[in-house]
Amino acid sequence: MTPASKARFRKGERVAMSHGGGGRAMADLIRNIFAHHFANPLLDQKHDATLIARPEGRIVISTDGHVISPLFFPGGDIGSLAVHGTLNDVAMGGGKPIALSAGFIIEEGFPLDDLDRIAASMGEAARAAGMPIATGDTKVVERGKGDGVFITTTGIGVVDDAVDIGPHRIKPGQAVVLSGPIGDHGVAIMASRQNLEFGTQITSDSAALHHMVADMLAAVPDIALLRDPTRGGLSATMNELVDGADFGLIMDEAAIPVRTEVASACELLGLDPLHIANEGKLVCICDMDKVQTLLDVMAQHDEGREARCIGEVCADQPGFVRMKTAIGGMRVVDWLSGEQLPRIC
Amino acid sequence: MKYVEEFRDPKLAENLAAVIRAEADSAREYNFMEFCGGHTHAIFRYGVQDLMPDNVHFVHGPGCPVCILPVRRLDDAIELADRHGVILCSYGDMLRVPGTKRRSLMVAKSEGADVRMVYSTLDALKIARENPDKQVVFLGIGFETTTPPSALAIKQASEEELENFTLFCNHVLTPAAIRHILDAPEIDPEEAVRLDGFLGPSHVSTVIGSQPYEFLADKYQKPVVIAGFEPLDVMQSVLMLIRQVNEGRVEVQNQYARVVTREGNERAQDLVDEIFEIRPAFEWRGLGSVPESALSIREKYAAFDAEKRFEISEKVSREVKSCECPAILRGVKKPKDCKLFGNVCTPETPMGSCMVSSEGSCAAYWTYRRAETLAEMAAERDLEPAQ
Ligand code: SF4
């Protein structure tokens, strides 16, 4: 048997407290799983801290903790999600990704096989995104003190000096563009958590958006705002924008894409797709006359093929998100209060 | 589900709205009570009111199962979890409703009580099986729709001879509550709400059928249309009510015929009948004691009755002072008439039950019509003469 094909860990082996103890077991775990899947020149510096050459422009940084059940779901897993989530936050700041750090908190007894799958999927997502995992950390907690695996990722990127993205640039008359159908991720998770069958499988939309964002910024450098409507869904993102602002937002329900399977699942569970999490969607606010240019650019990417203009920024009723309903009425779109729960009756 | 889109079609909605505008007699007002919280939610979520002429009004009735549970019963449930150390299971919204001194099941849980949110009675049974050394109580609430699952749980527990499962039964009956509202003017003329008809509940009717509403037409001379929950269902039902009123007809009509029959689901009714019997009277939040308006567990299944298994103390239960939920549940006040609306009482910090469930009137106004409601409240305050 050549060393390369030697099994990296024993079949059925589980994470033990010694894997976090700083000794040989920990070194083996890092080498056999993380270094194996994440291999890249930055990580190979093998320092406690990684040196990165100074880029031009401004630095954007974002961090995110990933706590998710189940760890594997249709369309992804906690590993790829941890990469996409942070990468997208960097992209929403207008940043081109440079590098990622990853911290793992693993529960004693967690199967190494599953950890290997997660690390493999993370390594692949990071490679595909061109955002190497430059540094990391591993801790092991006693059985019962964690939920399998928690991953914290921090991403850094660089923003061109010409780009200025932020809520301060939003003004009445601008358009709101959404990159595709909402609710896929949240419903996929809920369905796999509750073991619900909906006839067709609903898969998470977890995806990296920075390539599309780069093209969008190249075509329309003066985009006012980018946000990814993750936890809390589209409604939370929109409400964050108007909170304390001197403008309001109006959406058109008929223009907001929702897949039929997702709409049906929401109907069944008494949930509102507007409140459901997404992991591969973005909201963009830009001048009205740039909408078509952006839609054309977005259509070149899988992640933006179903992009639409879903509303506009308004001067009246500042602080409120309103929606023209599918049947032509009007209503406020509020934050979700508490946790979204299936209805009783 | 393939039906959903056609019941939200904007063209059809526009046409229906035009017919309603044409047929509603501008010389009169139409006040229709939607009894069921599901309708309240649909009306607000789709902005159905915006498509109605000014003289067609929705009066929101006491049909939200979370809203109508009186504080006393909630305090009893909290006591079960606190004092008797049971695992108390219930549906999500119920956990947030404030009881006396604003203590909710959620607060009890944070203080150490074992309170668990479940999605179905079967989840509660599972918890009982997995915890044989603990007593598990399911806090059963709701109208005729949620009663069959509770009946099934008792039946199953009895078949399995599960000794640690009981139901704290708070299931209530729709027709009795409607009757009570219509009798209210005789009890207190100040409370008279003028009602020209009812949008009958649809989920409830899939179980009990349309027949139990016939007394409303026969005895009280009120038109009823059993209505589905889609926005176009609601609009079409309003049109049917307007036509009955205009033509002087008084009938029970069934707009939701794709699901509801006159007789309902007889198997479910038999199951409910086997396990439960009618209580002589039951306290409703807002309505007070309503005769023959709720169910209790029959003697044969007494072993599964939390009220019989545990001693529950006498107590003085109080709602939050100045909360107008009771009047709102009777349809005599609107959320804007409550001083607490929006300043201290919001879905994050509910003071009353109507702000908790998405089917409650206060939550619906806050969530979907906050801008208008706050503006109206401000305007009314300005009009009040300076003290
Ligand atoms: S606003 Fe709050 S306190 Fe007032 S009636 Fe509604 S629920 Fe009760």
What pLDDT sits at residue A343?
Answer: 44
- The pLDDT-based confidence of B7 (bands split at 50, 70, 90) is low
* Residue A115, burial from CB neighbour count under 10 angstroms (0-12, 13-18, 19+): buried
What DSSP element (H or E) covers B23?
helix B10-23
CA B250 to each of CA A101, B177, B220, B244: distance values in angstroms, whole numbers, following the listed order: 71, 20, 9, 6
User: Which segment of A213-217, A262-266, A297-301, B234-238 scores lowest on mean pLDDT?
Assistant: A262-266
Amino acid in the structure at residue A214: A
Cα separation, A206 vs B77, whole angstroms: 42
Arithmetic mean of pLDDT, B257-267: 89
Contact: B65, A344; criterion CB under 8 Å: yes
Cis peptide before B231 (omega within 30 of 0): no
Distance (Å) from the C-alpha of residue B16 to the closest C-alpha of chain A? 10
User: Which segment of A217-226, A329-338, B12-21, B238-247 scores lowest on mean pLDDT?
Assistant: A329-338
Contact: A327, B47; criterion CB under 8 Å: yes
Q: Give the largest CA-CA distance in chain A.
A: 73
Arithmetic mean of pLDDT, A170-191: 94
Nearest CA to B270 out of B178, B174, B155, B167 is that of B155
Instruction: Tell me what percent of the residues of chain B surpass a pLDDT of 70.
Output: 95
Cα separation, B317 vs A74, whole angstroms: 48
Q: Name residue A24's beta-bridge partners.
A: none
Average pLDDT, chain A: 91
What pLDDT sits at residue A194?
Answer: 72
A329 and B CB contact within 8 Å: yes
Cα separation, A124 vs B101, whole angstroms: 54
pLDDT at residue A281 greater than cutoff 70:
yes
Please, which residues have CB within 8 angstroms of residue A219's CB and are 6 or more apart in sequence?
A293, A294, A296, A297
Nearest CA to B61 out of B31, B40, B82, B77 is that of B40
Residue with tokens 């036509």: B243
Task: Tell me which residue has its CA closest to atom 3 in ligand 1.
Answer: B323
Q: How far is the CA of B318 from the centre of ligand 1 (A)?
A: 14
Compare CB distances from A337 to B13, B119, B347 and report the shortest one's residue: B347
With H, G, I as helix, E, B as strand and everything else as coil, classify residue A120: helix
Nearest CA to B164 out of B139, B132, B140 is that of B132
What pLDDT sits at residue A168?
Answer: 95
Q: Which of B130-134, B189-193, B353-357, B365-369 holds the top average pLDDT?
A: B130-134
pLDDT at residue A12 greater than cutoff 70:
yes
What pLDDT sits at residue B358?
Answer: 80
- The pLDDT-based confidence of B192 (bands split at 50, 70, 90) is low
**Vertex B163 angle, CA B161 and B166, to 5°:** 105
Contact: B371, A341; criterion CB under 8 Å: no
What pLDDT sits at residue B384?
Answer: 63
First and final C-alpha spacing in chain A: 63
Say what the pTM is: 0.82
Residue with tokens 């505008």: B21
Closest residue in B to A254 (Cα) is B10
Q: Which residues of B147-174 are buried (b: 16+ CB within 10 A; e: fewer)?
A: bbbbbbbbeebeeeebebbbbbbbbbbb
Instruction: Tell me what percent of the residues of chain A surpass a pLDDT of 90.
Output: 72
User: Which segment of B131-135, B149-153, B312-316 scores lowest on mean pLDDT?
Assistant: B312-316
- The pLDDT-based confidence of B387 (bands split at 50, 70, 90) is very low
A342 and B CB contact within 8 Å: yes
ipTM surpasses 0.95: no
pLDDT at residue B23 greater than cutoff 60:
yes
What pLDDT sits at residue B380?
Answer: 86
Q: Is B362 in the pocket of ligand 1 (CB under 6 A)?
A: yes
Q: Which residues of A72-86 are buried (b: 16+ CB within 10 A; e: fewer)?
A: ebebbbbbbbbbbbb
Average pLDDT, chain B: 91
Q: How far is the CA of B358 from the centre of ligand 1 (A)?
A: 13
